[in-house]
Chain A
Amino acid sequence: MNARRTALWLFGAALLVAPAFLMSGYRLFQLTSMAVYAVAILGLDIVTGYTGQVSLGHGAFYAIGAYTGAILMTQFGWPYWATLPAGGAAAALVGYAVGFPALRLTGPYLALVTYALAVAVPQILRARALESWTGGAQGIVVTAPDPPAFLPLSQDAYLYLFTLAVAALLFLLARNMLSGRQLRAMIAVRDHALAAEAAGIDIARVKTRAFAVSAGITGVAGALGAIVVQFVAPDSFAATLSIALFVGLVVGGSASLPGALAGAAFVQFVPNLAETVNKSAPGVIYGVLLVAALYLMPSGVAGALRRTLPARLRTSTSPGKATPLPNKGATIHVD
């Protein structure tokens, strides 16, 4: 890494850390939850962007992570940081179970079963049988963690930095995972299913594993979200959350890590802004932008930037450059 790149990285890091000291209250909270969404969309990106399988149910994995975290904290007294891997593992497990039957098949089955999951999960969370665990429709209130005594930070600032650190860690993990053999296998599966199979790649296995990892990352985001929002309830995880994550992914740009960030900004800020106009406006804007984005920039905001930014800048700002293919015409042929 040369000095110039190091400087850019430091600058970027400073830019991300600065709000913890410059902002407070609701504004900072918004940035924190945007970072949480970025992780959730990152998870979705791994399956939908990189393997070309559409998931409409990542809101459900987010919910599973959030509830796992909330239950472990409130009923088992787990420390907040320990709930993140547990929430991820729970979501990954469900992801594996749901993904496996659908991913053996070629066709829109994953989209279908994940859509069903997205619709069903809020109902399950509300179910009376599980009420002693989930708190039913009331949900669970979580106590926010205090900053460690040695850090002179407000609770909001600490939460922001903690979320940022987790997000950075997961992005780095994803980046490493997506830079090697694993990524090539996934892209091969996405673009050339038949050839990939002939080359000895077990397609169903690659897809199902990717899907479990993807659900797991979004589950971590859920657990993180439970800590940040300090509350989980079925209504927070309606099917609209899954759809919002999907829209964020597409508008931000699939198969690109910076795209997840752009998508998160979209999901965090656009509905709030639009709702000031009209209760229906977020839906219309989501829908129209989604269709327009698919039509005008099939590789999303990140892809559009990648094409317009000078190459010099690109190498440092685009860790997703390992995937040169825009998503137009680049999925497994569904037949």
Chain B
Amino acid sequence: MIGFLHQTLSGLATGAIYAAVALALVMVYRATHHLNFAQGEMATFSTYIALSLIQAGAPYWVAFVLTALFSFVLGFALERLLLRRFAEAPGLTAVGVSIGLLLIFNALSGWLFGFTVKQFPSPFESGGVVLGGLVSAHEIGMVGVTLIVLLAVYAFFRFTPLGLAMRAAAANPASSRLVGIRVGRMLALGWGLAAVLGSIAGMMVAPVVFLDPNMMFGILLYAFAGALLGGIDNPAGAVIGGFAVGVIENLGGAYLVGTELKLTLALIIIAAVLVLRPAGLFGRIVVARV
């Protein structure tokens, strides 16, 4: 029973990471109707930036904020300088470009920061064991930071004029232009915010899984599974889906398939959602639309 509880809590902790990345994916998907396969590698690259800042002597939270800012600029600039040119492109091109970015960021991470596995500091380690050893201080902190960020994102979209404009631009670009919203800029903002979410997920998960150029590879897949489970066009669903996938992964890994087939579990979740409920738990039905 203790083991089960431990696995569940630990699953919720990694689920927080999946939730953040899933939300990033859904944000880009809603605005562009394309999946950003490079989301994970961009996050890894940002995490390396954070490590460099920390190694250069920056206090953790300063590095954290600077990295988030850097990631925002990175995402924003990518959209403005590169992706904008492919805005009207068909699915093959869109997937191709994001795969291209995946390759570039993966290679850049290795090139600039090396291929060896690196340790990444946690700001929460000092607290030691929490809740009778069921979860680590870092896991608690990881969930806390992610929840704060997710709430901030929610508040931004729900309560600010800019957030409203971004939602409008994603849902209905033509009408948005007619009310004076600069749709292109909203798209770039969305990419920037998605990159920020990814970078925070990267910085939070790196102390657990260690940092190497392929760190986010599997995490991206779980985030996809979470996003699909919650509904690929539903931000709240993606967050819930991310947490759910974290728990499923941990319990499934512990009691069903073993850790060596954990990634297969993501494939099974994705396939199962597509077969049973393609719109996800909270999304809209997309079957047989042409």
**What residues of chain A have their CB less than 8 Å away from a CB belonging to chain B?**
48, 52-54, 56, 98, 101-102, 104-109, 111-113, 115-117, 119-120, 123-124, 126-128, 193-194, 197, 203-204, 239, 243, 246-247, 250, 254, 278-284, 286-288, 290-291, 294-295, 298, 327-335
A-B residue pairs in contact (CB < 8 Å), sample of 28: A52-B92, A53-B91, A54-B91, A54-B92, A56-B37, A101-B271, A105-B286, A107-B33, A108-B35, A109-B278, A111-B91, A119-B221, A126-B260, A127-B261, A128-B260, A204-B288, A247-B99, A286-B107, A287-B99, A287-B102, A291-B104, A295-B85, A295-B86, A329-B88, A329-B90, A331-B90, A331-B91, A332-B91
Residue of B nearest to A250 (CB): B96
Report the minimum CB–CB distance from B286 to chain A (whole Å): 6
Q: Does B218 contact A (CB under 8 A)?
A: yes
Which of B99, B111, B274: most chain A Cβ within 10 A? B99
- Give the chain B neighbours of A239 by CB distance below 8 A: 217
Q: Does B287 contact A (CB under 8 A)?
A: yes
Which of A117, A247, A250: most chain B Cβ within 10 A? A250
Q: How long is the Cα–Cα vector from A53 to B106 in the complex, in angstroms? A: 25
Q: How long is the Cα–Cα vector from A287 to B93 in the complex, in angstroms? A: 13
Which of B92, B95, B102, B287: most chain A Cβ within 10 A? B92
- Give the chain B neighbours of A193 by CB distance below 8 A: 290
Question: What 8 pairs between A and B have smallest CB-CB spacing?
Answer: A283-B107, A287-B103, A287-B104, A331-B90, A280-B111, A290-B100, A101-B274, A291-B100
- Give the chain B neighbours of A126 by CB distance below 8 A: 260
A194 adjacent to B290 (CB under 8 Å):
yes
- Give the chain A neighbours of B100 by CB distance below 8 A: 286-288, 290-291, 294
Q: Does B1 contact A (CB under 8 A)?
A: no
Stretch at the interface among B117-125, B163-171, B262-270: B262-270
B93 adjacent to A294 (CB under 8 Å):
yes
Report the minimum CB–CB distance from A95 to chain B (whole Å): 13
A116 adjacent to B267 (CB under 8 Å):
yes
- Give the chain B neighbours of A278 by CB distance below 8 A: 111
- Interface bin, chain B: 35 or more
> Which of B33, B34, B264, B275 is within 8 Å of A123, CB to CB?
B264
Q: How long is the Cα–Cα vector from A52 to B91 in the complex, in angstroms? A: 8
Q: How long is the Cα–Cα vector from A45 to B40 in the complex, in angstroms? A: 27
Residue of A nearest to B224 (CB): A112
A52 adjacent to B290 (CB under 8 Å):
no
List which B237-290 residues lie within 8 A (CB) of chain A: 258, 260-264, 266-267, 270-271, 274-275, 278, 286-290
Q: Does B130 contact A (CB under 8 A)?
A: no
Residue of B nearest to A327 (CB): B92
Q: A194-B290, A284-B108 are in contact. List 4 more A-B contacts (CB 8 A).
A: A128-B258, A243-B103, A333-B90, A334-B33
- Give the chain A neighbours of B90 by CB distance below 8 A: 52, 327-334
- Give the chain B neighbours of A250 by CB distance below 8 A: 92, 96
- Give the chain A neighbours of B35 by CB distance below 8 A: 108, 111-112
Given A120-B266, A287-B101, A335-B33, does the pair A108, B107 have CB atoms closer than 8 Å? Answer: no
> Which of A105, A106, A243 is within 8 Å of B99, CB to CB?
A243
Report the minimum CB–CB distance from B77 to chain A (whole Å): 15
> Which of A124, A247, A280, A282 is within 8 Å of B261, CB to CB?
A124
**What residues of chain B have their CB less than 8 Å away from a CB belonging to chain A?**
33-35, 37, 82, 85-86, 88-97, 99-108, 110-111, 115, 217-218, 221, 224-225, 228, 232, 258, 260-264, 266-267, 270-271, 274-275, 278, 286-290
Q: How long is the Cα–Cα vector from A182 to B218 in the complex, in angstroms? A: 38
- Give the chain B neighbours of A335 by CB distance below 8 A: 33, 289
Q: How long is the Cα–Cα vector from A197 to B290 in the complex, in angstroms? A: 9
Q: How long is the Cα–Cα vector from A103 to B259 in the complex, in angstroms? A: 30
A331 adjacent to B218 (CB under 8 Å):
no
Residue of A nearest to B266 (CB): A116
- Give the chain A neighbours of B286 by CB distance below 8 A: 105-107
Q: How long is the Cα–Cα vector from A123 to B104 in the complex, in angstroms? A: 24
- Give the chain A neighbours of B290 by CB distance below 8 A: 106, 193-194, 197, 203, 332
- Give the chain B neighbours of A54 by CB distance below 8 A: 91-92, 95-96
- Give the chain A neighbours of B289 by CB distance below 8 A: 105-106, 335
Report the minimum CB–CB distance from B6 to chain A (whole Å): 24
A48 adjacent to B92 (CB under 8 Å):
yes
- Give the chain B neighbours of A48 by CB distance below 8 A: 92
Q: How long is the Cα–Cα vector from A105 to B225 in the complex, in angstroms? A: 16
Residue of B nearest to A293 (CB): B96
- Give the chain A neighbours of B82 by CB distance below 8 A: 291
Q: How long is the Cα–Cα vector from A42 to B36 in the complex, in angstroms? A: 26
Report the minimum CB–CB distance from A110 to chain B (whole Å): 9
Q: How long is the Cα–Cα vector from A306 to B111 in the complex, in angstroms? A: 37
> Which of B103, B232, B264, B287 is within 8 Å of A283, CB to CB?
B103
Q: How long is the Cα–Cα vector from A327 to B86 in the complex, in angstroms? A: 13
